[in-house]
Amino acid sequence: MQSPTYIAFLFAIASAAAADLPVRGLHVMAPSAADVPLAEKFIREALPKEGVNTLVFEVNYEYRYSKRPEVAEPNALTRDDMIRIVSACRDARVRLIPQINCLGHQSWGKTTFALLRAYPEFDETPGKYPDNEGIYCRSYCPLHPKVHEVLFELIDELADLFQADAFHVGMDEVFLLGEDDCPRCRGRNKAELFAGEVRKLRDHLAASNRAMWMWGDRLLDGDATGLGKWEASLNATHPAIDLVPKDIVICDWHYGSAHPTASYFALRGFPVVSSPWRQAGVALRQLDLVRLAREHGSPAVAARMQGMLQTTWTDLGSFAKAYFREPGAEASAVEAAACFRELFRELR
């Protein structure tokens, strides 16, 4: 039987942890080259003021990779541009975590992104869906024998440039997986395919002592939770939760309601952050759930509830314009900036 003194000690640890969340983060997308100075200003001025200690910087193919120059979007950022971002984060004492979307999100609308343009043989559905009609986003085939040779070079170059101790691999909203059109994946168990890709990415990052972050939606059962196919999985990937390492940081995104799924991930053994977007009421309720779990959960579960990662779904230049209330900012950026202000006011 545990003594009252020991129980009080554990409660004190949990209460102290609740008061200072380890992750107070913001997720943004790479700015245009013209907006790099504004992005630097935002990092140096706004992030310390708001109390942000982590910046997840989604790059994808918006960088001129030296090892794979063919995998870059038009007008991609240069090494000098990136060094300015890295230096600004160092000055602001903000942990910088780069991101490349892996597996899914290899297209948007009619645009197929640089990886599959340069290597169309990596496509999960090669030759199908002209102009991407009839699909949400393309995926690469996780079983293609050459895809990781390319992908790992991109990841390593970006992680080294950012001097990063963690890397975000995306992996949200993967709908094309185990397709009959793929000669390697057809007929295979989708959860095992998804988990296999998670493990490959995690193990590669672990070899250089880097933690892996990812979105958590494909690990949730869309039927059992009632969350449907976007915030959770209806394409049979969710059993992968039992097939992947527990040291992966799960970014649990929900934008319309504060679902208690962050606690579910923590109970299953994963470190987790809650990720709102542009509704301040939802963000604050998510924060309440994190604090409740850290205050009243077991020390093990409390420690896994790492904090908040606000998403923006716009590039850092656009978000900075909205934050600084400059004219011409798009409506979604203005909403996300308003949410950001309210959430971080409460975090402080």
Determine the pLDDT at residue 7.
36
- Beta carbons of 345 and 280 less than 8 angstroms apart: no
* pLDDT beyond 80 at 1: no
Phi and psi based region of residue 115 (left: phi greater than 0; alpha: psi -120 to 50; beta: remaining): alpha
- Of 205, 214, 223, nearest in space to 272 by CA: 214
- pLDDT single digits (tens) 159-214: 999 999 999 999 999 999 999 999 999 999 999 999 999 999 999 999 999 999 99
CB neighbour list of residue 95: distance below 8 Å, 6 or more residues apart: 53, 54, 55, 89, 165, 166
Among residues of the chain, what percentage have pLDDT more than 90?
93
Nearest of 118, 140, 113, 265 to residue 201 by alpha carbon:
140
| Distance, CA of 312 to CA of 292 (rounded, Å) | 25
State the greatest distance between any 2 C-alpha atoms of the chain, in Å, as a whole number. Answer: 67
In one letter, which amino acid is 170?
G
Contact 124, 197 (CB under 8 A): no
| Three-state SS letters, the chain | CCCHHHHHHHHHHHHHHHHCCCEEEEEEECCCHHHHHHHHHHHHHHHHHHCCCEEEEECCCCECCCCCCCCCCCCCECHHHHHHHHHHHHHHCCEEEEEEEECCCCEECCEECHHHHHCHHHECCCCCCHHHCCCCCCCECCCCCCHHHHHHHHHHHHHHHHCCCEEEEECCCCCCCCCCCCCCCCCCCHHHHHHHHHHHHHHHHHCCCCEEEEECHHHCEHHHHCCCCCCCECCCCHHHHHCCCCCCEEEEECCCCCCCHHHHHHHCCCCEEEECCCCHHHHHHHHHHHHHHHHHCCHHHHHHEEEEEECCCCEHHHHHHHHCCCCCCCHHHHHHHHHHHHHHHHHC
Q: Per-residue pLDDT for 135 more than 70?
A: yes
**Structural domains for the chain:** 4-347 (3.20.20.80)
- Which tens digit of pLDDT belongs to each residue from 16-56? 444 589 999 999 999 999 999 999 999 999 999 999 999 99
Q: What percent of the chain has pLDDT over 70?
A: 95
pLDDT value for 12: 44
Exposure pattern of 9-40 as b/e (b: 16+ CB <10 Å)? eeeeebeebbeebebbbbbbbbbbeebbebbb
Residue 3 has pLDDT above 90, yes or no: no
* Spatial separation of the C-alpha atoms in residues 262 and 9, rounded to whole Å: 25
pLDDT band at 329 (very low <50, low <70, confident <90, very high): confident
pLDDT digit string (tens) for 210-223?
Answer: 999 999 999 999 99
d(CA 274, CA 128): 36
Burial status of residue 152 (CB atoms within 10 A of its CB: 0-12, 13-18, 19 or more):
middle
pLDDT digits (tens, 9 = 90+) for 274-319: 999 999 999 999 999 999 999 999 999 999 999 999 999 999 999 9
Look-up: residue for tokens 């040779």? Answer: 149
Beta strand 305-310 with 23-29 is parallel
Residue 14 has pLDDT above 70, yes or no: no
d(CA 288, CA 276): 13
CB atoms under 10 Å from CB of 289, counted, come to 17
